Amino acid sequence: MHILVTGGAGFIGSEFVRRQFATDATARITVLDKLTYSGVEANLASVAGLPGFTFVRGDICDPVAVDHVMAGQDVVVNFAAESHVDRSIVGAGPFVTTNVVGTQVLLDAARRHGVGRFVHISTDEVYGSISEGSWTEEWPPAPNSPYSAAKAGADLLALAYHRTHGMDVVVTRCSNNYGHHQFPEKVVPLFLTNLIDGRTVPLYGDGGNIRDWLHVSDHCRGIDLVMRGGRAGEIYHIGGGTEMTNKELTGLLLAAVGADWGRVEYVEDRKGHDRRYALDIGKIRTELGYEPQVRFEDGLAATVTWYRENRAWWEPLKARAALES
């Protein structure tokens, strides 16, 4: 099976690629990645020499580049996106361009080339916020940030290509991921690396926003199940990690590095900040036998160790991001 992975140099995409090769040394994978600020080619160093691996630097919004890499592919897994909510509040342009237009360019090329399956990676954030209970796949999108609105637009477009053109499209929507190789602007690596450096961490609002945390390896296992066994035209939730407030998460991160609450700065809440996300994962569990495997305590401990041991990975990324802002 030839798989085109877009955004494969990012946090989740690179884990997906490494995992595919770990389970099948004969996998044939092409990564198309623009290497934006969050794309790190070195994330793929462990697979770079494998005969089945090809890396192409290119933009999913560029029809010529996309057409070139689409030839001969059996499956597309579309991770490429602008992914940080805070950046989408500062400027929505790149989010609409990459997340919506880029997905359309990919869908058109996949259709032209008769690609067998298009797996579109999305997020629980498309549903907005829920105070009690959890969303099933039937809930209508009601996004609140420019990031989630652009993701919802892309999801709807992907599903429309299934209904209009009969393309084999599946959409996954996952909860918050954590783990190694996550760009140090997202809350877990931002807080960890600040704390490791003896600095403070900025906690939004009252810290009461609730997220469901899933280890990146569990997300990628879920995507693999959907890619191989999901039904065309369907949405699948991937989650079932650990629900907690940002304040609880902060407490765990402080404890993990031996710091106290004096290192926490309460800052003005994020605009339009969703209070709670919660996914019902009954569908993927029943249809595809999915169950998360990494206990949060274990995954977090491994993540802390990884960031402690891989300063050479995150320090230049943080320095570059600081220069940009």
Which residues in this chain contact ligand NAD in the complex, by CB under 6 A? 6-7, 9-13, 32-36, 38-39, 59-61, 79-83, 98, 102, 121, 123, 151, 174, 176-177, 183
Q: Which residue is it, tokens 């997905």?
A: 103
Determine the Cα–Cα distance for residues 20 and 149; give it in Å rounded to an integer. 30
10 Å Cβ neighbour count for 206? 11
| CB of 75 closer than 8 Å to CB of 27 | no
Q: Which residue is nearest to ligand NAD (CB)?
A: 10
Q: What is residue 193's three-state secondary structure?
A: helix
Q: Which residues of 155-180 are buried (b: 16+ CB within 10 A; e: fewer)?
A: bebbbebbeeeebbbbbbbbbbbbbb
Determine the Cα–Cα distance for residues 209 and 229; give it in Å rounded to an integer. 34
Determine the Cα–Cα distance for residues 226 and 221; give it in Å rounded to an integer. 9
In this complex, which beta carbon is closest to ligand NAD, that of residue 32 or of residue 115?
32
In this complex, which beta carbon is closest to ligand NAD, that of residue 7 or of residue 143?
7
In this complex, which beta carbon is closest to ligand NAD, that of residue 70 or of residue 259?
70
Determine the Cα–Cα distance for residues 273 and 209; give it in Å rounded to an integer. 8
The CB-of-86 to ligand NAD minimum distance in angstroms stands at 12
In this complex, which beta carbon is closest to ligand NAD, that of residue 12 or of residue 249?
12
The CB-of-49 to ligand NAD minimum distance in angstroms stands at 20
Positions annotated as catalytic residues are 124-125, 147
The CB-of-221 to ligand NAD minimum distance in angstroms stands at 14
Nearest alpha-carbon partner for 257 in 178, 315, 184, 200: 200
The DSSP letter of residue 100 is I
Q: Who contacts 31 (Cβ-Cβ below 8 Å, separation ≥6)?
A: 5, 6, 8, 9, 13, 17, 44, 53, 54, 55, 56
Nearest alpha-carbon partner for 115 in 155, 34, 169, 157: 169
| CB of 83 closer than 8 Å to CB of 7 | no
Q: Name the packing angle between helices 246-257 and 296-309 (round to 10°).
A: 50
